[in-house]
Structure 1
């Protein structure tokens, strides 16, 4: 027959079990199950995919905006704001890239005009982002007015980018073809990103 445990031993055992339970509970609170987190992330990404499917360039839309899933969640307004931010950053980067090039002398005027129109595009996109921060409650008169301003400015930014493309020669001598192609490719992508941003802005009121 085994000897019974002393009261002190039982007390130590109970304290140990309580300590293990407490640690497990705290860890569960600090670190939610990975399956729950993964499920939420998938839903956020699916929201962006569905929204991007309404744009003219859905693959490019997903490429640019999928990384914003955790901050956008299911907000059309937050997604549109992220799209405007991406568009503004890319337009600024392309403008800087073109400014750093050394274009052929007979194309320098067109390149200068392109840089200026891209700068206007960046200003309008940034103004649109600021305007969105003042939109207020959806459905209100102020909301509609601010949204109309955003739509107008993003449309104007897209026009600026297309104007830049029109300024660039479609044909060039063999030794200039690489330069022309590189610039056009970058400006075309900016225009596509801005087109997507405008489509997402238009979805804010849906």
Structure 2
């Protein structure tokens, strides 16, 4: 076996082992395995990549929700729920973007400085998760049942799952530092 293949296998095993502690381990492995060469066995890179996957998912979901807002024939309640969800997804994208920058800026930070940066990241990712859940909550009730609710909910749930996994990997990285 070549050194590159061994390294790639080690990275995949690292990802699997790290993902086993997340809430959605199969999704975690599936969403991060493609980045094994970048991640190697680096916990910070793993957390950063998980955040990037979450951000990408949130961005595509925000685009999807924004297209739904333009549908003709929406009920008032549907339009309002979609508009609120769009705001929440915008906040999610902003917070995840801030988190990625903050994690990159940690560099060689130690002690209290590291704790401060990690606290920012954890707070923003937790807030992003709350935004995602708030979006789904906006579609509660029978009046909003239907295809729009189902399609938004499915996408938001996926974003929330990858965000939850990212938060778990971030917390793990922070606790080992």
Structure 2 portions without partners, runs of 5+: none
Counterparts of 2:152 and 2:83, CA distance in 1:
13
Give the structure 1 partner of residue 77 of structure 2: 106
Counterparts of 2:30 and 2:109, CA distance in 1:
28
Greater relative contact order structure (CA < 8 Å, 6+ sep): 2
- Using structure 1 for the length normalisation, give the TM-score: 0.78
Give the structure 2 partner of residue 97 of structure 1: 64
Counterparts of 2:75 and 2:27, CA distance in 1:
31
- Using structure 2 for the length normalisation, give the TM-score: 0.91
Q: After TM superposition, list the pairs within 5 Å mapping 1:1-206 onto structure 2.
A: 35-101=2-68, 102=71, 103-137=74-108, 139-172=110-143, 177-205=146-174, 206=176
Counterparts of 1:104 and 1:63, CA distance in 2:
37
Counterparts of 1:161 and 1:169, CA distance in 2:
14
Counterparts of 1:170 and 1:188, CA distance in 2:
17
1:136 touches 1:142 (CA, 8 Å); kept in 2?
no
User: What SS does the corresponding residue of 1:137 show, helix, strand or coil?
Assistant: coil
1:114 touches 1:168 (CA, 8 Å); kept in 2?
no
Counterparts of 2:143 and 2:11, CA distance in 1:
45
Structure 1 portions without partners, runs of 5+: 1-33
RMSD value over aligned CA atoms? 1.5
Counterparts of 1:87 and 1:41, CA distance in 2:
23
Rg (Cα) greater in structure: 1
User: What SS does the corresponding residue of 1:100 show, helix, strand or coil?
Assistant: helix
